[in-house]
């Protein structure tokens, strides 16, 4: 099941030094401190970033504010912004190997997966570029002979964009190009664990022609930098992806100045499987949905809700296929599951498995850490006999842990699916169209996959219900999320005064 770390790969790893991008200049932090990143796969130093302080965050916000209020970016035509975004997309494609390597080595993600994500990111940037030309308002000439109404879409202003460590480049691509397409300026804070590819994006955007101060990229902790970015009065909107707990804190900070907030948070996503499903296709989707990105994915199919008539056989088949999944060195193109992001996160995942085992759950496959010589790895783990009241059935483990629950009726399956605080995504597997549609209508989640799982395209909105977040990313309205609506109510001819006879 495992691939050993290749010694030659360790000796090839080099430490890359990064600075922050503020007002078009690469700069050190105000206090000169740095953040060092150890590769989770190899345990050696691979990146060193300048560590931002409150003063640096304020400087970046001031640059974005100046660029929005006085710079050329918001005043450009949609076509001009579109052309720059298209050039950025081309440059991303040209440097995709370099970007993929940074995500693989800093996040522990398989390099083959990172390359696929880069292709998806390029597609999103091009889609956003197209939307830049299509942003428009409305007009009303049916309001009476003397009245004309025009509704404008104006860029909201300065946007704070805060992204997580699990999809470093892809998730910034679900936010930044749409904000830029609308004419906004931005301060971007990637996770301090995986900042390399986002900082490299800064180089790409400058080369593509994005004016100084339009995109500012700083690295730091949430407590020191994120707090400023989410509460500062010169920030007009916050777009955050991360845990539900930090999402709540983000809302609290933003409420101080009533900022617009977009949140993409956690998930505890079910796949509901009926006996008439194509089980061969489902087994593959179940393994993919559970182990993709080592389960460190808000969209992970971490709950299987299986009809009791097929549960034992299906679980055994998933375990059999999971045994063939290759876990190991992310830099090996054949690796399918890489390293866990930090030792602390690995301990958290293990604690969930241990608590479930003590509670009577059966570990149907693997379980526990893998010793591959260095770095931190965990074997794909299947837990059977899980009930809906257990922590592993309700809480986001964010690791390679699959919980198996059973049902007897369609209504019971829906109740189990909805019996969590989250509502990001779900899957249903059945050859009966009515069954799929019923699940699709009654399960409360932002995306329902039918006879597939974790497919995506820039045209389709993405986001969740309840504690999975607020708002939607992607889709044809994504640029509109970064705008304010303004009404121009125009009167034609003389106006009848209040005191004048009608």
Decide: helix, strand or coil at residue 112.
Answer: helix
Nearest-angstrom CA–CA distance, 16 and 407: 51
- HSE, CB side, 13 Å, CA atoms: give it for residue 411: 0
Cβ-contact 438, 447 below 8 angstroms:
no
Q: For 432-498, list the strands marked E by DSSP.
A: 447-450, 465-466, 469-470, 483-491
Confirm if 300 and 290 have CB atoms less than 8 A apart. yes
Cross-strand pairs, 154: 484
114 part of the active site? no
Choosing from 106, 192, 264, 473, the catalytic residue is 264
3-state DSSP of 246-278: HHHHHHHHHHCCCCEEEEECCCCCEEEECCCCC
**What's the CA gap between 502 and 491, in Å, rounded?**
17
| Structure token pair of residue 497 | 């005064």
3-state secondary structure 336-392: CECCCCCHHHHHHHHHHHHHHHHCCCEEEECCCEECCCCCCEECCEEEECCCCCCHH
DSSP SS3 for 457: coil
- List the strands of the sheet with 362-365, edge to edge: 362-365, 381-384, 401-407, 303-307, 270-273, 425-429, 447-450
- Cβ(405)–Cβ(416) below 8 Å: yes
Query: What DSSP string describes 441-456?
Result: HHS--SEEEESS-S--
CA distances from 422 to 26, 162, 267, 396, 445 (A): 40, 21, 5, 9, 8
264 CA to centre of own chain: 7
d(CA 428, CA 270): 8
**What is the rounded (10 degree) CA torsion for 380, 45, 206, 228?**
80
In this structure, what are the phi and psi dihedrals at residue 363, rounded to the nearest 5 degrees?
-85, 100
Q: Which of 114, 184, 298, 436 is catalytic?
A: 298
Name the strands in the sheet holding 20-22, side by side, starting at the edge strand that comes first in the sequence: 25-27, 20-22, 215-217, 185-189, 158-162, 237-241, 260-264, 469-470
Catalytic site residues? Answer: 264, 298
């Amino acid at each position: 099941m495992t691939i050993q770390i290749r010694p030659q790969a360790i000796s090839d790893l080099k430490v890359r030094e990064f600075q922050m991008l503020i007002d078009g200049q690469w700069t050190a932090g105000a206090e000169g401190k740095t953040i060092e990143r150890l590769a989770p796969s190899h345990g050696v130093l691979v990146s060193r970033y300048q560590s931002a302080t409150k003063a640096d965050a304020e400087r970046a916000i001031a640059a974005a504010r100046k660029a929005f209020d006085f710079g050329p970016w918001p005043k450009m035509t949609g076509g001009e912004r579109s052309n720059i975004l298209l050039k950025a997309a081309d440059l991303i494609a040209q440097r995709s190997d370099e970007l993929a390597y940074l995500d693989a080595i800093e996040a522990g993600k398989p390099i083959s997966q990172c390359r696929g994500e880069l292709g998806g990111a390029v597609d999103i940037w091009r889609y956003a570029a197209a939307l830049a030309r299509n942003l428009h308002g409305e007009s009303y000439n049916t309001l009476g002979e003397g009245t004309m109404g025009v509704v404008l879409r104006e860029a909201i202003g300065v946007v704070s964009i805060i992204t997580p460590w699990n999809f470093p480049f892809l998730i910034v691509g679900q936010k930044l190009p749409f904000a830029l397409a609308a004419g906004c300026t931005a301060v971007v804070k990637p996770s301090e664990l995986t900042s390399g590819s986002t900082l490299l994006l800064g180089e790409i955007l400058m080369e593509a022609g994005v004016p100084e101060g339009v995109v500012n990229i700083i690295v730091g902790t949430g407590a020191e930098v994120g707090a400023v970015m989410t509460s500062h009065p010169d920030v007009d909107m916050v777009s955050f992806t991360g845990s539900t707990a930090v999402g709540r804190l983000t809302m609290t900070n933003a409420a101080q100045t009533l900022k617009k907030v977009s949140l993409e948070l956690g998930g505890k996503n079910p796949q509901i499987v009926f006996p008439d499903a194509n089980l061969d296709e489902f087994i593959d989707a179940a393994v993919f949905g559970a182990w993709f990105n080592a389960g460190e994915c808000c969209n992970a199919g971490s709950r299987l809700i299986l009809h009791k008539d097929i549960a034992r056989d299906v679980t055994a088949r998933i375990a059999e296929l999971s045994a063939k999944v290759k876990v190991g060195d992310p830099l090996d193109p054949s690796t399918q599951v890489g390293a866990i992001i930090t030792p602390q996160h690995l301990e958290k995942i293990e604690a969930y498995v241990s608590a479930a085992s003590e509670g009577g759950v059966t570990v149907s496959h693997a379980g526990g850490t893998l010793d591959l010589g260095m770095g931190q790895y965990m074997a794909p783990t299947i837990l059977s006999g899980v009930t809906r009241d257990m922590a592993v059935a309700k809480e986001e483990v964010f690791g390679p842990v699959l919980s198996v629950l059973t049902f007897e009726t369609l209504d019971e399956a829906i109740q189990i699916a909805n019996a969590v605080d989250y509502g990001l995504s779900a899957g249903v597997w059945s050859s009966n169209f009515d069954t799929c549609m019923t699940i699709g209508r009654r399960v409360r989640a932002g995306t329902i996959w039918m006879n597939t799982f974790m497919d995506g395209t820039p045209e389709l909105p993405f986001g969740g219900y309840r504690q999975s977040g607020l708002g939607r990313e992607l889709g044809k309205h994504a640029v509109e999320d970064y705008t304010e609506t303004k009404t121009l109510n125009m009167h034609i001819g003389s106006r009848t005064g209040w005191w004048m006879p009608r």
